[in-house]
Amino acid sequence: MPGTPSAPPAATDELVELTVGPVAHGGHCVARTDGRVVFVRHTLPGEKILARITDTGTDPATATFWRADAVEILHPSPDRVPDAWPAAGPGGVGGGELAHVSLHAQHRWKEAVLTEQLQRLAHLHPADLPDGAVHVQPAPGDTDRAGLHWRTRIDLVAGPDGRAGMHRHRTHDVLALDPAAPTGPMPLATPEVLALADAEGVFTHRWEPGTRLELVAPAPQPGAAPAAPLLLADGLTWRGGRADQRPNARRTVTETVTARGTTWTHRVAADGFWQVHREAPALLVGAVLDALGPLDLAGATVLDLYAGAGLFTLPLSDAVDAPGATGRVVSVEGSPRAVKDARRSLHDKPHVELHAGPVDHVLAGLRASAGSAGGLAHADAVVLDPPRVGAGRLVVEQVAHLAPTTVVYVACDPAALARDIALFAGHGYDLTGLQAFDLFPMTHHLEAVATLTRRS
């Protein structure tokens, strides 16, 4: 059937019977065969399975671990459910590796991963955590939607036959997504994204092989007119079955964020970075403002690092601004295009400084010019939202030298977060708050907001 994934070239044709152990970071579980560790996808702890080995390394005899896909379930876990997205199953596309796991069990899976990373890398046991345990919360509405229809953005690529699809996991092979599949072509996409795909014939059109497609439909806001969706094909606006070649063709979308009774509006590049879950921007802004709540930010100096298009910068600019006590927000972002997006939203905020460049380099320059106009000797609070690799030693050291009272760390990778918490601990900062959110249902990813407080 068109769109049904075929098995990838196996490292061996042999099917191995495995008893599955605990979950591991990365969307797989740990099993063993003949004393060798096997990381297995599409399974659950406690299951007995037949697995196809998909990767044995360059030398199977000396490899420290193998990779495998569960292709037959001999004894299923009670947490197993019918696959919500078979195209992301064994041999299929990436991005839906937990679609066979009940939503509640996905939360427990992610709690176990975050807990293990905090123990192993930050040396924090559950009793050391602010609430005595890790709790992963679903985003509003996700339990009603069974964890589906949350992505406001999807990226596709045209395969050799011109059909739109996604890459097979850990390969460059493109698997076409089938619009006639019982689950639809992409069940994680919002109805608005799927309507855009249908209107533009994304899954029926024959594209030039290799064409990159971005579909964006901002989440509807209560009481507001729907924001216009946008399809880009290799960076060109696509409308009515053809590319809009005009230099001024629209390539941005309007995103509206409401949190704590205030609404902020952003205009961002359709193919730039923005949180993909429909509830993520408001949920994360609220969590960051809550973490900073005990501080009186009026007149304060606040840093927003890895600031992107200004998701947090705009609320922070309001938080430091009060009659007679206007503060300062210093925003640092490595992507010039994201800084351009932020400038659209912050052009009328003279107390906000936008810096483009690597965070560690910009911070070093600001600290080196401390005492002069535009320099930086101290920060009252720091918000940072680094990419999956985390902030790292240099940035943590730079932040610690500014001696903020509070650091709010927004993390999309548990291992990087745990490592950086340990680095901050070495500079006198304790973990005093931790919220974790399932903003990527059906995948192993999660988002966490950690509050770090300087010891007095």
Q: Is 5 a residue whose pLDDT tops 60? A: no
Q: Backbone dihedral region of 248: left (phi > 0), alpha (psi from -120 to 50 degrees) or beta? A: alpha
Question: What is the three-class DSSP state of 241?
Answer: coil
The answer to which of 60-64, 280-284, 395-399 has the lowest mean pLDDT is 60-64
Residues 6+ apart with CB under 8 A from 210: 157, 158
In tens, the pLDDT along 299-354 reads 999 999 999 999 999 999 999 998 888 899 999 999 999 999 999 999 999 999 99
pLDDT cut 90: percent of the chain above it: 90
Q: Is 371 a residue whose pLDDT tops 90? A: no
pLDDT for the residue 8: 39
Prediction pTM value: 0.94
Residue 129 — pLDDT band, cuts 50, 70, 90?
very high
Q: Is 413 a residue whose pLDDT tops 70? A: yes
Nearest to 273 by CA among 234, 243, 307, 227: 307
Average pLDDT, the chain: 94
pLDDT for the residue 191: 97
Residues that are catalytic? 412
CA atoms within 13 A on the CB side of 143: 8
End-to-end CA distance of the chain: 65
Domains and CATH numbers, the chain: 15-80 (2.40.50.140), 153-252 (no CATH), 256-267+279-454 (3.40.50.150)
Residues facing residue 29 across a β-bridge: 23, 40
